[in-house]
């Protein structure tokens, strides 16, 4: 009878007995977090760039905390306006905490509202409003990051405390131009990157001491050179001037150190590039781009074990990035000769986005390495249908050359010759045709032009038959490649 009476009292929770005897377990420690896209409360889609900029800035500030894994913006953007339950989002991103929020701007005043939720349990932990004038918006981002860190009781190093507390004021018009620049830069195509360049220049004109605007300028020159939209030597000079200025103003910008690492890589300063990549990662362990580019740098130097570790770190903080997913397939599987696993991996990426041309290119290359030449050509042609560029043309031309479709390969060479700064890609097609003289003639032109693609000389499979050629070894020596 006593047992029944106690069971009844507990069942009815008389006097809160259930909580006294069986207290609810609180959420465990939060050491990983995702900031979901912020909501635009201004009722004007033209203001989306402000909201997206604040979303990116908040992620950047939180990423400065080394004890906290912060999911990259690329992955969290996939949950914009999602109707998925938060526990599912947390599970997919492999995080403990989720930040939701909104942005409201009225004149020169901006308000950001954030709430912290324990992802696995969907339990609301904390919410707060933050108000600032636009001039103090950089300090606002840091204040929000510090408040979140305080709520989840994450330990900040003295250096991190200093960086989060040192945000300066910024000219509102300069900041607005910077946000527009990042908005267009994130679209990652030549036309929009040129727009981004103009906005970053406007930001610098308004505020010559705005370090992140110089970093954005450097990133634009880097992308424009890789797209062939600007001569590599010109891009290197402008990129160097911009990133040097950014670091003169603020030596703690991980993005600027990453840009400098990439610059030194393109200058064939291999040791200097590695130093800067490591510095960037030290400053911001959750900056996926630094891990991603460092992994590619290690791949270029044939340091495969280290490259695998680094690309896995990039995937941990940006698990849904299609581009990082491509590099995971290449470094983890393709480079190890595991072509079946690589093919399966690329097919999964295409399930996420069938129009992602890079996945078709890499899938085609894995098919080609397996000897499935027709399937490879079909993938290259599908990539080409999504948008013509030098890399796709070269892969298709090489494949056609190898299977005996010489006329098609020569037709592609003619098209590449009409595209500026295509020396590297023309050499690849000539390699498929077995014309060694033309291969080295065009590689020499790429060397003279400082083509960014030349940094892949040790790893480009099309040149495998030429690696023992004294002319090939001489190119590697002149480019200062370290001996493995």
How does pLDDT run across 331-358, given as a tens digit for each residue? 999 999 999 999 999 999 999 999 999 9
Nearest Cα neighbor of 253 from 224, 287, 221, 223 is 287
The predicted model scores a pTM of 0.86
Residues 6+ apart with CB under 8 A from 300: 265, 455, 456, 458, 459
Q: Dihedral through CA 399, CA 402, CA 407, CA 408, nearest 10?
A: -10
Residue pLDDT, tens place only, 92-126:
999 999 999 999 988 888 889 999 999 999 999 99
Residue pair 113/50 in contact (Cβ under 8 Å)? The answer is no
Q: Which helix (H) or strand (E) holds 128?
A: strand 123-133
The greatest distance separating any two alpha carbons of the chain, rounded to the nearest whole angstrom, comes to: 98
Q: pLDDT digits over 373-399, tens only? A: 999 999 999 999 998 889 999 999 999
The model's pLDDT over 34-48, given as tens digits with 9 standing for 90+, comes to 999 999 898 888 888
Q: Which residues pair with 96 in a beta bridge?
A: none
Burial code of 399-415, b = ≥16 C-beta within 10 A, e = fewer? bbbbbebeebbbebbee
Give CA–CA dist 70/120, Å, rounded. 16
Give the pLDDT confidence score for residue 311 in this predicted structure: 97
Cα 247-248-252 angle, rounded to 5 deg: 40
How far apart CA 443 and CA 277 sit, in angstroms, is 28
User: Is 157 in a helix, a strand, or coil?
Assistant: coil
Name 239's Cβ contacts closer than 8 Å, sequence gap at least 6: 218, 221, 222, 225, 259, 263
């Amino acid at each position: 009878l006593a047992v029944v009476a106690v069971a009844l009292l507990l069942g009815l929770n008389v006097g809160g007995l259930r909580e006294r005897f069986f207290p609810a377990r609180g959420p465990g420690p939060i050491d990983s977090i995702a900031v979901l896209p912020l909501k635009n409360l201004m009722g004007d889609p033209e203001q989306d760039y402000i909201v997206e900029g604040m979303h990116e800035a908040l992620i950047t500030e939180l990423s400065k905390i080394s004890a906290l894994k912060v999911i990259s913006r690329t992955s969290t953007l996939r949950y914009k306006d999602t109707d998925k339950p938060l526990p599912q989002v947390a599970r997919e991103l492999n995080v403990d905490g989720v930040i939701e929020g909104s942005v409201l701007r009225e004149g020169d005043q901006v308000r950001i509202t954030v709430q912290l939720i324990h992802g696995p349990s969907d339990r609301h932990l904390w919410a707060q409003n933050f108000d600032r004038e636009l001039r103090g918006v950089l300090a606002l981002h840091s204040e929000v990051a510090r408040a979140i860190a305080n709520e989840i009781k994450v330990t900040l190093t003295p250096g991190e405390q200093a960086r989060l507390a040192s945000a300066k004021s910024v000219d509102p018009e300069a900041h607005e131009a910077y946000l527009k620049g990042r908005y267009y830069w994130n679209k990652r195509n030549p036309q929009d990157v040129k727009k981004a360049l103009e906005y970053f220049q406007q930001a610098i004109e308004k505020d010559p001491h705005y370090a992140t605007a110089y970093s954005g300028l450097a990133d634009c020159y880097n992308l424009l050179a890789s797209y062939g939209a600007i001569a590599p030597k010109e891009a290197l000079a402008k990129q160097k001037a911009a990133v040097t200025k950014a670091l003169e103003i603020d030596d703690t910008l991980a993005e600027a150190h990453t840009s400098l690492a990439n610059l030194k890589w393109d200058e064939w300063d291999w040791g200097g590039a590695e130093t800067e990549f490591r510095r960037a990662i030290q400053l911001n362990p959750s900056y996926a781009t630094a891990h991603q580019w460092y992994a590619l740098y290690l791949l270029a130097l044939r340091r495969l074990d280290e490259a695998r570790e680094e690309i896995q770190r990039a995937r941990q903080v940006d698990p849904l990035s299609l581009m990082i997913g491509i590099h995971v397939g290449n470094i983890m599987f393709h480079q190890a000769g595991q072509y079946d696993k690589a093919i399966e991996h690329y097919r999964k990426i295409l399930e996420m986005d069938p129009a992602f041309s890079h996945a078709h290119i890499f899938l085609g290359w894995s098919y080609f390495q397996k000897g499935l030449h027709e399937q490879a050509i079909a993938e290259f042609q599908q990539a080409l249908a999504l948008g013509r560029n030098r890399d796709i043309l070269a892969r298709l031309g090489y494949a056609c050359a190898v299977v005996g479709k010489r006329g098609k390969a020569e037709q592609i060479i003619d098209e590449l010759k009409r595209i500026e700064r295509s020396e590297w890609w023309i050499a690849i097609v000539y390699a498929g045709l077995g014309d060694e003289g033309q291969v080295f003639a065009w590689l020499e032109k790429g060397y003279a032009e400082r083509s960014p693609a030349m940094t892949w000389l040790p790893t480009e499979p099309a040149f495998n038959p030429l690696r023992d050629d004294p002319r090939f070894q001489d190119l590697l020596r002149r480019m200062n490649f370290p001996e493995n």
